[in-house]
Amino acid sequence: GQSLEQPSEVTAVEGAIVQINCTYQTSGFYGLSWYQQHDGGAPTFLSYNALDGLEETGRFSSFLSRSDSYGYLLLQELQMKDSASYFCAVRDRGWQAGTALIFGKGTTLSVSS
């Protein structure tokens, strides 16, 4: 079966650094994505890793190790507005085969002052 595991909750203080891990077991792998969702809002795209290594976008970075079926989202200089749910997602089939993202169950990040 397909599964993505990520911690259910993480807490941190403003200004800190937090890492949200994601391990996946899928029949195929065509990239790991991260999405942010505030309460009552829609998921929004944060980052995408198709190849091993680190991708940096401002305060957020995402890492992938395909050999370990593992990735993480790193959030630096945390702000109160970063309090949200974070989802890792995997595309398990190539585009031609018809595909949709499989989402993890989400990690709720709470940032306190």
User: Which residues would be at the binding site for other proteins (CB under 8 A)?
Assistant: 30-31, 33, 35, 37, 41-45, 48, 85, 87, 91, 95, 98-103, 105-106
Q: How far is the CB of 72 from other proteins (least distance, A)?
A: 18
Q: How far apart are CA 48 and CA 52, in angstroms?
A: 11
Q: How far is the CB of 105 from other proteins (least distance, A)?
A: 5
Nearer to other proteins, 71 or 106 (CB): 106
Main-chain phi, psi angles of 92, to 5 degrees: -100, -5
State the pairing for strand pair 107-112/44-49: unpaired
Nearer to other proteins, 24 or 35 (CB): 35
Place of tokens 């800190």: 16
Q: How far is the CB of 103 from other proteins (least distance, A)?
A: 4
Q: How far apart are CA 78 and CA 27, in angstroms?
A: 35
